């Protein structure tokens, strides 16, 4: 129960804008870095492969909510250089199922759930954000678990 309350506090976003913690969707990397008050730093080798067709991680940091520890990546549009989404990579994969259960308690059953041989995806729609947990890998626990926050209007 305590973990659920702590994680709920972590994922609570502003009521109208649905921002993530200290960051507002659309901020520049410099604005996001300043707003983090030292929690983020410019990407280095830690951000390798943190890129998509349209976005790239430019900032990262350590993040913890209760017993859950993450590496946090801030993704910015390659062309716009504005904050487009936030991804948290769980540092202890053995806690992956526990993390999913905390989200279920907070948001109810996922709006969408997909299972393949190598990946499980859980997606919630909350506070103007899409929140997606991906568990990647064969067996249990998964090799990699991520939580992604994405503004719905994107």
Element (H, E) at 41: strand 41-42
- What pLDDT is stored for residue 13 in this prediction? 36
For tokens 């059953």, what's the residue? 109
- What pLDDT is stored for residue 18 in this prediction? 58
- Average pLDDT over all residues of the chain: 86
Query: Residue 23 pLDDT > 80, yes or no?
Result: yes
- What pLDDT is stored for residue 152 in this prediction? 65
Compute φ and ψ for 104, nearest 5 degrees: -60, -40
Q: Which pairs with CB-CB distance under 8 Å and at least 24 residues apart come from 53-61? A: 54/78, 54/79, 54/84, 55/84, 55/85, 57/87, 58/29, 59/29, 59/32, 59/33, 61/36
Domain ranges within the chain, ordered by starting residue: 2-151
Average pLDDT over residues 115-141: 90
Confidence tier at 9 by pLDDT (50, 70, 90): very low
Total-model pTM: 0.82
């Amino acid at each position: 129960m305590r973990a659920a309350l702590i994680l709920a506090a972590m994922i609570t976003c502003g009521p109208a804008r649905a921002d993530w913690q200290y960051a507002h969707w659309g901020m520049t990397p410099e604005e996001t870095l300043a707003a983090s008050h030292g929690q983020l730093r410019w990407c280095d080798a830690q951000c390798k492969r943190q890129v998509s067709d349209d976005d790239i991680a430019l900032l990262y940091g350590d993040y913890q909510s209760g017993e859950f520890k993450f590496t946090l990546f801030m993704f910015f549009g390659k062309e716009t250089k504005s904050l487009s989404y936030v991804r948290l990579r769980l540092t202890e994969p053995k806690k992956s199922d526990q993390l999913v259960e905390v989200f279920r308690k907070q948001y109810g059953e996922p709006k969408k759930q997909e299972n393949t041989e190598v990946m499980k995806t859980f997606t919630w729609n909350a506070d103007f954000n899409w929140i997606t947990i991906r568990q990647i890998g064969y067996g249990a626990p998964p090799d990699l678990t991520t939580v992604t926050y994405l503004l719905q209007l994107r």
